[in-house]
Amino acid sequence: MDIIDSLDMYRQYLLVEKGLSKNTWNSYLNDLKMFFAHFKSFKTVEDISEESLSEYVSFCLNNEYSTTSVLRISSSIKSYLLFSKNSGYFKYEIPEITLPKKPDRLPVCLNREEIELLLSAPDLENPSGLRDRAMLEVMYSSGLRVSELLSLTIDKISFQQKNINVFGKGSKERKVPISEYSLDFVQEYISKVRSKNPGKNSKILFLNKKGEQISRIYFYKQIEKYAEYVGIRKKISPHTLRHSFATHLLDGGAQLRAVQEMLGHENIQTTQIYTHVSKAKLINTYDLFMNKK
């Protein structure tokens, strides 16, 4: 089977059988398309070899791809090869290659004072400011992924039970609590802003001025703008709110398993990174205290 046909079969597999979101399977396919663009002479899956994989990893590293990016690309290719082997398109053993070690990088988190500054940055007299405040409150209060926040529909919020029904990675469903304080901003946004939006009949909760779903890039730039406005110098992104949510829960004594369920992590090891963030914070606080003596 040629590469174009096999990629189409793989896309259907990711979409139908794995139930991945469009953003996720697009990411897989983009990695593969870049790989095959590098090896223009490849006609079928079986042209892939250990040597070609090693060469591509070296190419990525030499072109200053981050270690995380190289590991993701390698994982995309390996997943495609495994699918091809199970489907009978690839008859050899899956090639093994030496990959760079993933750095132990702790996620950037904001302390509670910084969170308060960031959340209070939007101008509530401005319609987009009120909407952005509601978005920031929901994301920090419930620890949603940015994709989950932007695709959130009104019917998934229970104002009475104070929770959100979230469809996360792999279309897995989970319920996460949300504070009444955050819901107040959501209700104010709906009544004062969304009710006058051209897309008020849309299922999507948070809309831009044209009545369309807000893009990731726009929300990212808004958070950067608000952080700069209140003097936060850390390099942050929408995901920083999710990181801060998890870290603050653990700092407050929440159980790791409960935080895992709220974040929608399949593996608890993914959640454990936040215990390291809490420990690092504790050590820094101790050092500052001791140095003042």
Q: Which residues are part of the catalytic machinery?
A: 145, 169, 239, 242, 265, 274
**CA separation for the pair 288, 285 (Å, rounded):** 5
Task: Count the helices and strands in the chain (H runs, E runs).
Answer: 12, 3
Dihedral through CA 78, CA 83, CA 86, CA 87, nearest 10?
Answer: -140
**CA separation for the pair 281, 265 (Å, rounded):** 23
Name the 3-class secondary structure at 4.
Answer: helix
**CA separation for the pair 146, 152 (Å, rounded):** 10
* Cβ count near 246 (within 10 Å): 26
Question: What is the phi/psi pair of residue 35, to 5°?
Answer: -65, -50
Burial bucket for residue 169 (CB in 10 Å: 0-12, 13-18, 19+):
middle
Residue with tokens 């090869």: 81
Name the 3-class secondary structure at 163.
Answer: strand
**CA separation for the pair 60, 163 (Å, rounded):** 43
